[in-house]
Structure 1
C-alpha cells in the first residue's frame, strides 16, 4: 500500500513538473513572439519615417561624418541625416534613428548622445564591423509600461561605393564606357570584370564575389553590395552619393575614371587616386560654397562642381596632370547628392511585467533583431509622400550577427 502511494505521489509530482515546464515553454514562446512583433513595429516605423521625409526627390541624405569638425570629434559615420526639400542649413531636418521621431522630437538623439546613452541599443556591432567608430546605435523606445520596447537605425547604402553592379547596368561615361566602382587597391582579389559581379544583393553575399580571405567588417561603411536610384521611371544602379567623407569609398569611385577615360586623357594612377580621395574626404565637410553650408551637404551636383572642391583637392594632393574639368567630363553621370537605397535594422524586446514594470533596467525576457533593405521606387506613394519605398529583402538576425 505504501509502495502504491509512493508511486502515486511520484506520478503526481511528474505531471505537475511537466505542466510547469510546458507553461514556462509557452511563456518563453510568447515573449519571443512579442519581441519579434516589437522589432517589426520598429521596422515599420522606420520605413514610415523614411517615406515621409525622404520620399520626395528633393530631399538630401548624408552620413553624420560630414558634420565632423576636427579629428577629436566622434565621426560616427553610421548615423544618417536627412535634409528636407528646400533645406539650406548644415543642421539636418532629423537623424534617422529611433527616439527622434517619438516624444523626444527631431534631432534630440544626436551622434554624440548615442555614444554613451544608457538607453542605446547597438544595431551595428561587432558582428558587422570591427571599429567602435563604425558601430550604429539607436535609442530604445518603451511601449507602454509593460509591453517591452523597440529601436531602429537606418543606414545610407548610396553613400558607399557599390561593388555588385554589372557593366550593363552601370552608368555610362559620355564616351559610352561603363562607370564601375573599383576597390582593387583595398581589396586585391576583387573580380572587377567577373560575370558574377552583378549577382550579390546583400552585404553577406559580397564574400562570394570577393573571396573568403578578405575580412569585410572594416569595409562595411565604405562599400555596399548594390544600390539603386529611382530616376526617369526606372531603377538605375551604380551611382554614388557625394555627401560622404569616407576616403575608401571615394577612391573606389574615382578609379572608375581610369576605366572609362579616353585613351588620350590624363591618367589617374593608383597612388594619385588614393591621395585625391583622402583630400576630398577631408575637405568635404569644412567646405563652404553656394549650395553647400559648412559642415553640411551639397544640395545639388552643380553646386558640387561649382565649389571647386575637386580642383582644390587635386592641388592639395600634388596632382598637376589632371584637372577637375577632366574628371567631371567622365564621372558626372554617376554622382548624386542623395540616396534611394537604405538598410533598416530594428530591435524589439519583451519584458516580464512583474519585473520593475518592464523597465529597461529589468532583464529582457526575449529580444529580436531584424533587417530590411528598402528601395525608393519609381511608383508614387499612395499617401502622397513622394515616391514609394518598397522592401528588397527581409531577414531575422541573431544577436551575434549584429
Structure 2
C-alpha cells in the first residue's frame, strides 16, 4: 500500500489487529484494537507490563518513557555509546495556540563553544525526538550547532491522541509556530537556521519550507517522503473509500500496514535496539492519518519546483520503505541550483540508526560537512 512504503519513521513497528464493537457516536461504532505489544527481550516482566500500557494519551507515554530511562541509557548502540559528553540539553513543554502541550528539546554546544547555526529537526511517522535522535543531535551539537526538536501533537511526549494526524497542514502549522518561537530566543536569534527532516519528517520539512521560503538557510532530508510512486498507490476507488470512511471513523486503526522493521534496519542487532523506543506509535495507522499523508504527498509533489532553499538529500540506495527514485525525482524538480543528492550503496531506510557503525558515522559527518559549508556562505 502507498503509505506503508512512503510514510514510515525509522523505528515504527506494526502488529496485527483484532476487532470489537462499542457503543457511542457513529464514528466509534467500529474500532481497531491493537494486539498486545511483543515482549522486549532482556527486560523484566514489570517493565514489559509498563510498555504494554495503552499509550493513546500523553500522560501514559510520559510515564513509560520515564520508566525506561535507565534502560535506554545503557543500550548497546553506536549512537548511545559514542555520543559526545558535555552537550547542554534541556527539555520543555509549551502550550501552543491550540491549547495542546507540546514537548520540545534542545542540544547546545559545549560551554565556551561558538554556535555556528541552528538546526531544527522534523521526525518520522510514529517516532519521537527522544530516542535515536538524542545521539544524532549530540554529535551535531558537538560540531558547533544548536539543535532543536519537537514531538508533533499526538506523537512522543506531546499531547494528543497517539498516532493521529487530523490535518497534515495543521500539524505543519504547529511545527512552524513552535520553531518560530525558538528562533526568536537569544541563543539562536540572528543565526542561520536550517531544517532537517527524516522520512515523513521530510514531508513536514518541505511543507515548512514551502510555507516559509525566505526563512530557512537550507533543507536537509534523510530518506524523505515527498512523493508516492504510482505502482504502490492503491487504486482510486480504494483511496476514495478510505477517505470517506475517515470522515466516519477518523481515529479508527483500520489502515493495513506491513511490518517494515526488518526493511528499515540493515543491522539486525540495531533492529532489536529499536524495540526499546517504547513510546513510538506501534499500531495500525488511523484512517484520517493515512488519508492526510496521501494528500500531503500529492500536494508536495505538485510543488517540488518551488523548493528554492539549498538542499541536501541523503538516501539509502536499497531503501524499500521510501523509494530512492523519489529522492532523485525531488532532486531533478527542485528549482534551487544549490542541491546535492547522495545515495548510500546497500543502505536501507534507517541510514542514521540501522546501518553499520561506520555508515551511521559517515551519514552524520556528511550532514555536518554540508552545514559547515553552507554556514560559511552566509
Q: TM-score per shorter chain, which class?
A: under 0.3
- The structure that is helix-richer by fraction is 2
* Normalised TM-score (structure 1): 0.25
Please say which structure displays the higher CA radius of gyration. 1
* Normalised TM-score (structure 2): 0.26
- The structure that is strand-richer by fraction is 1
